[in-house]
Structure 1
Amino acid sequence: MQELISQADGLGHALEVGAAIGDAKEVGLGSYAVVPQGYDLRSLEKFEASPMRKSGAVTLEDAASFIRYFNLHAIESSQIYGRINPPMFVGVLDDHGGDYPGWKEHLVKYACPFSIEWKEWSSKDKTGMSQEQFAEFIERNLPDIVEPPGADMLEISRSLQAKKKVNFSSGLRLANGQQELTYEEEIQGTSAKGKLQIPETFKIGIQVLEGGAPYAIECRLRYRIKDATLVMWYELVRPHKILEDAVNDVWSTIEQQTTRLIYRGSI
């Protein structure tokens, strides 16, 4: 008798499973089936030849690639969102339409990567350095300096390196825009005074964004004399406006080549 009950239970379970699985059903754009263990509804999309709709996020490295990808996949409701600082553009290719919702799951992003030169100069902005450190920094980045001429800045750099064992006493701003530093140097047991002139400002010409236009950026040269030791640094003049201008240039290019007005914001 027990064996017959067991067989009946097994048959009943098999019938339940068969009824639960049944045939695949069409729901919306996809196929679904009910499976046992709670009778969950499972999508069969992964068994199709291709997905039912586009999705995923792509991050691109330049504005031209962002524009090409957006234009390739854009539909009527596609939108672009952008911000200035930190710079970022996000294209939502399946965004909401005016009278219908979108999935917002197919995205293309462009983070406007900074150039190596911008990262180098902005990272040391307002950072005090010993005269030797400052001289090495200037010599390492000499190709970026456009005013005064590179040869003049190289001479200043080497003068700073040569005078690293002297005692600086004072500084004076000259009428020609130069700054004159007075120092004392021991030469064969004799103390001798000398003067070193450095510019009050200099200019660099660098790209702000990778692949972007170069910008002329003014830098103010600063120094402090403490305990006869010279500390030097530079200050970029209004770097936030330089960055804003560089990103606005990309902003205009994207709007023109995608024919979409960019929303100022993020997603």
Structure 2
Amino acid sequence: MTDNVQTIVNTALASAPPAELEPGKFYAFVTPEGGVHKVDLTGDQYKDTPTRKTGTTTVRDAESFLAYWTKHHDDNSEVYADSERLTVTAVLDAHTADGARWSGHRLHLALRETDAWKQWTRGDGQLMKQDEFAEFLEDHLPELLEPSSAEMLEIAQSFQAAVKVDFQSATRLSSGQRQFQYVETATTKAGQKGQLTVPETFVIGLIPFEGSEGYRLTARLRHRIGQDGLRLGYKLERPDEIRKTAFADVVKAIGEQIDTAVMNGQPA
């Protein structure tokens, strides 16, 4: 093509009136340089509504999971429960028996532990100073079931009052309680003996996950008398089993409200 002809073509292209392009179609134009310019108007951003549902919605309890599921699932939606990760995942646009689908619209239940559960399990097996142990009991009175929170408060206050004492021994009584023998060290009462009696075990009520049911756990009193004084703590009985049971109950609550089998595992 001669320079004159190219100039005429360029002038014609530059002076051509603008053309309206229709969304939802694909266009290609020859540029003055001889290349091809492509315009893709088929994307969702050019449409009034998206072509399909996509994205993962994360919820924190079974009730929210069921609400979203009810709104968006179809007959081919799938649900998976992972007991190790404590998650329930729904693939709302899962593959059908006759063909593939995108599997891009998902619902994810990620359970979150309550503050009380985390605090009790964090202190499991740890020995504390007697005043720290007393403060811990006072801070967690709502979770104390047996003995009652009022009785445990009295025990906590007794430990706080017995700071200036020298604990000598601990004896397990036939009633299942633990009795601590001590000698006063305060100037006004030096040498005076006394004792504190506390339960060997106590029962607490904890909700493992936000929005889940509550469960009873038994805590066994732990102690050590040494040069640094009396140390106290507790040992929870099978907290991991309670946690697994709580998750299984969440999965059961979901399974009872949907017509789809809950599979054990994770989606692809």
Match of 1:100 in 2: 99
TM-superposed CA distance for 1:6, in Å, is 5.6
Q: Distance in 2 between matches of 1:131 and 1:123?
A: 18
TM-superposed CA distance for 1:146, in Å, is 0.7
Q: Which moved more, 1:114-123 or 1:101-110?
A: 114-123
Q: Distance in 2 between matches of 1:206 and 1:53?
A: 42
Q: Answer yes or no: is 1:73 the counterpart of 2:72.
A: yes
Query: 1:31 and 1:143, CA in 2 relative to 1: closer, same or farther beyond 3 A?
Result: same
**Aligned CA-pair RMSD:** 2.9
CA contact (8 A) 1:202 1:218 kept: yes
Q: Output one character per residue of 1:74-118: Cα deviation in whole Å (capped at 9) or x when no partner.
A: 122211111224421111101122231121210111112223322
TM-superposed CA distance for 1:162, in Å, is 0.9
Deviation beyond 6 Å, 4+ runs, structure 1: 21-25, 35-38
TM-superposed CA distance for 1:223, in Å, is 1.0
Q: Distance in 2 between matches of 1:32 and 1:44?
A: 10
CA contact (8 A) 1:56 1:107 kept: yes
Match of 1:59 in 2: 58
1:201-240 equivalences in 2 (<5 Å): 201-240=201-240
TM-superposed CA distance for 1:11, in Å, is 6.2
Q: Distance in 2 between matches of 1:41 and 1:197?
A: 83
TM-superposed CA distance for 1:244, in Å, is 1.3
Match of 2:264 in 1: 264
CA contact (8 A) 2:164 2:186 kept: no
Q: Output one character per residue of 1:39-82: Cα deviation in whole Å (capped at 9) or x when no partner.
A: 56744321111011111111123211211211221122211111
Q: Distance in 2 between matches of 1:38 and 1:206?
A: 67
CA contact (8 A) 2:171 2:180 kept: yes
CA contact (8 A) 2:144 2:203 kept: yes
Q: For structure 1, list consecutive stretches of 5 or more residues without a partner in the other structure.
A: 16-20
Q: Output one character per residue of 1:243-262: Cα deviation in whole Å (capped at 9) or x when no partner.
A: 11111111111112111111
Q: Distance in 1 between matches of 2:39 and 2:170?
A: 80
Q: Output one character per residue of 1:131-169: Cα deviation in whole Å (capped at 9) or x when no partner.
A: 111100101111211101222211110111111222222
Q: Distance in 1 between matches of 2:228 and 2:192?
A: 15
Q: For structure 2, list consecutive stretches of 5 or more residues without a partner in the other structure.
A: none
CA contact (8 A) 1:129 1:231 kept: yes
Q: Which moved more, 1:155-164 or 1:167-176?
A: 167-176
CA contact (8 A) 1:57 1:107 kept: yes
CA contact (8 A) 2:131 2:160 kept: yes
Amino acid at match of 1:200: E
TM-score by length of structure 1 reads: 0.85
Match of 1:162 in 2: 161
Secondary structure of residue in 1 paired with 2:101: coil
CA contact (8 A) 1:131 1:160 kept: yes
Q: Which moved more, 1:102-111 or 1:32-41?
A: 32-41
Query: 1:31 and 1:47, CA in 2 relative to 1: closer, same or farther beyond 3 A?
Result: same
Q: Output one character per residue of 1:159-194: Cα deviation in whole Å (capped at 9) or x when no partner.
A: 111112222222221211111122221243632222
Query: 1:78 and 1:221, CA in 2 relative to 1: closer, same or farther beyond 3 A?
Result: same
TM-superposed CA distance for 1:120, in Å, is 2.5
Amino acid at match of 2:50: P
Match of 1:130 in 2: 129
Match of 2:187 in 1: 188
Q: Distance in 1 between matches of 2:20 and 2:174?
A: 93
CA contact (8 A) 1:167 1:183 kept: yes
Q: Distance in 1 between matches of 2:175 and 2:36?
A: 86
Instruction: Count residues in correspondence.
Output: 257
